[in-house]
Chain A
Amino acid sequence: MAYVAIRGGADAIKGSARLMDALRAMGQSAPLELDQIERQMPLLHSKVLSEGSLYHPRLASLALKQSLGDSLEAAFFLRAYRSTKPRLGETAPHDTRTMRVVRRVSAAFKDIPGGQMLGATPDYLHRLFRFDLMDEGPETFDQITRDWFGNRPNGETPLTFPKVLDTLRAEGLLAPLADSDEAPFDITREPLIFPVPRSAQLATMARGETGGLLALAYSNMRGYGDVHPTVGELRVGYVPVMVPHPVTGKPMEAGEVLVTECEIVAMFEKTDDGAPVFTLGYGACFGHNEVKAIAMAVLDRAISVAKDKGRIANPSEDPEFVLLHVDGIESMGFCTHYKMPHYVTFQSDMDRLRAARGKAEEAADAPR
């Protein structure tokens, strides 16, 4: 089954492009500014940053504007844009303990070193409409910012915090953590041929489509699986990007990247010396996207569980099933190609159907 090459339709295609622009421009509203998208729709913007797998906030805003708000298309724009740029290399591995946290919570512990800070979250708010948002003007924004920044206390609050799970490690409740020497698998250059190393799994999920990851993780949570997670730590913040100074070779800060990271703790598992420990799952992605990070961590745990048991009991535990179906560009692209002309294929299907019906009728009409 294949889509076919066609000619013609150039006028219709041009007309369609013009129509998209015209629909945007008609009416009374002013053109969207890129800053508005980034600042007032930051969570949608974050989704595109991580699914596009390119941390370029300005282009992510442009992608959303140009795609008329289609986040799958917007991510596609960023992915495609990457192919026009030279690859300068890789950074050294960043430790997320350097993250300048804007949100840090734990479901496992009430008190954690450094404390829990909600940051900006709707988690504890009712899902009730605020109809006053319909009538905001620039003066509203001025008032809001004045109110927020008034009465600022002087403090020395740190922005970086230790990992919650390090406390569990110190108590021996978690296996000690050793950094692996293995070079990361580059999913942008090598195809996934299973079994793949953990770095390939993490990278694939880090740019995976949120809905796809969520659905698979949810299947495990609901019972098609065994992971009963507690969020040990969920943190959102800005990780400083360090690269060598071209002259001195010492690390210099080239910028910062907004990252969401989730560590989940799940069930017991005996280690070699017989003492029970918790097992862990990990998820991290560009941008502020908590559902995605938690889903990634649950899937990480699901895949690890199956690997340890040597038995895959559910789709969410099968790395091939998970990793090959979560990429938004691949899945959206294949789904959408069904709209492309498949005339020849379908014509041959119709011919076969008619021939089969003809034979059936002949058989029915044949004298007994």
Chain B
Amino acid sequence: MSVLDLPRLWRPETHQALFRRILDVAARPGQIADLSDLLDDRAAALAALATFCDNTQMLADLTGALSDTDLAFLDVRTAPVDQAGFILARGAEAPRFAPRLGTLDAPEGGATIVVMLDSLTDGTPLTLTGPGIAAQAGLSPSGLAPAWLDARARWCADFPMGVDLVLADQTRLAVLPRTTKIKGA
């Protein structure tokens, strides 16, 4: 055992498990991934970034929540919010930025925004329809300022360009791809 033990969150096998769970809930919007068995008390939002980020990506941390060690482990370059492929933000604060939306021939350039919330289930119910949803699905995020849904509607108005949201409470994730239509709130 002469190499160092990595904290569970930073182990490759954890990232593989996280990737599978995030992919599953991204394919079925409205479903919630419970990550508590993988986190060892770290935040689900950080686990999402750990899965997505590597030294080819750029991140904008709007929360200031990431420590220097977290950033070193993410091994990601920091960038201004309008250039970053990944953004970390707080749901309680209305978004006042213009994220990357991609282009018509490269819509995948649109940013993925990880939004930190109080809870995915204790708040205002939203009704979701669209690809990956049989008839309709629901999510009840609490701690998501209403301005977020207005901003998302603007950013995703020119499909296929747009952004994808990863909603995170302390231990769980849900994904709102740009293809999902939202009613409510």
**Chain A residues near B (Cβ < 8 Å):** 87-89
Is B67 part of the contact surface with A, judged by Cβ < 8 Å?
Answer: no
Number of A-B residue pairs having CB atoms within 8 Å of each other in the complex: 4
Closest to B54 in A: A86
Measured CB to CB, the closest approach of chain A to B21, in angstroms, equals 22
Can you spell out 4 A-B residue pairs with CB atoms less than 8 angstroms apart? A87-B55, A87-B56, A88-B55, A89-B55
Residues of A within 8 A of B55 (CB): 87-89
Residues of A within 8 A of B56 (CB): 87
With A and B bound together, what is the CA distance between A89 and B56 in angstroms?
A: 9
With A and B bound together, what is the CA distance between A232 and B74 in angstroms?
A: 47
Closest to A86 in B: B54
Residues of B within 8 A of A87 (CB): 55-56
With A and B bound together, what is the CA distance between A88 and B55 in angstroms?
A: 7
Measured CB to CB, the closest approach of chain B to A82, in angstroms, equals 16
* Complex interface residues of chain B between 26 and 77 (CB less than 8 A to chain A): 55-56
In this complex, how many residues of chain B approach chain A with their Cβ under 8 Å: the count is: 2
Closest to B12 in A: A86
The 4 closest A-B CB pairs, nearest first, are A89-B55, A87-B55, A88-B55, A87-B56
Closest to B72 in A: A246
With A and B bound together, what is the CA distance between A87 and B75 in angstroms?
A: 11
With A and B bound together, what is the CA distance between A89 and B75 in angstroms?
A: 10
Instruction: Map CB proximity to A onto B126-143 as digits: 1 under 8 Å, 0 otherwise.
Output: 000000000000000000
Closest to A189 in B: B56
Measured CB to CB, the closest approach of chain B to A193, in angstroms, equals 15
Residues of B within 8 A of A89 (CB): 55
Closest to A87 in B: B55
Measured CB to CB, the closest approach of chain B to A84, in angstroms, equals 13
With A and B bound together, what is the CA distance between A88 and B75 in angstroms?
A: 9
Closest to A246 in B: B72
Measured CB to CB, the closest approach of chain B to A277, in angstroms, equals 41
With A and B bound together, what is the CA distance between A220 and B56 in angstroms?
A: 40
With A and B bound together, what is the CA distance between A232 and B55 in angstroms?
A: 40
Measured CB to CB, the closest approach of chain A to B151, in angstroms, equals 33
With A and B bound together, what is the CA distance between A89 and B55 in angstroms?
A: 7
Measured CB to CB, the closest approach of chain A to B56, in angstroms, equals 8
Measured CB to CB, the closest approach of chain B to A137, in angstroms, equals 40
Measured CB to CB, the closest approach of chain B to A90, in angstroms, equals 10
Residues of B within 8 A of A88 (CB): 55
Measured CB to CB, the closest approach of chain B to A332, in angstroms, equals 30
With A and B bound together, what is the CA distance between A87 and B56 in angstroms?
A: 9
With A and B bound together, what is the CA distance between A88 and B56 in angstroms?
A: 10
Measured CB to CB, the closest approach of chain A to B19, in angstroms, equals 16
With A and B bound together, what is the CA distance between A89 and B54 in angstroms?
A: 10
Measured CB to CB, the closest approach of chain A to B25, in angstroms, equals 27
Measured CB to CB, the closest approach of chain B to A164, in angstroms, equals 38
Measured CB to CB, the closest approach of chain A to B87, in angstroms, equals 23
Closest to A90 in B: B55
Measured CB to CB, the closest approach of chain A to B137, in angstroms, equals 37
Closest to B56 in A: A87
Measured CB to CB, the closest approach of chain B to A91, in angstroms, equals 14
With A and B bound together, what is the CA distance between A87 and B55 in angstroms?
A: 8
Closest to B55 in A: A89
Measured CB to CB, the closest approach of chain B to A94, in angstroms, equals 20
Measured CB to CB, the closest approach of chain A to B77, in angstroms, equals 10
Closest to A89 in B: B55
With A and B bound together, what is the CA distance between A89 and B57 in angstroms?
A: 12
Measured CB to CB, the closest approach of chain B to A298, in angstroms, equals 36
With A and B bound together, what is the CA distance between A150 and B65 in angstroms?
A: 65
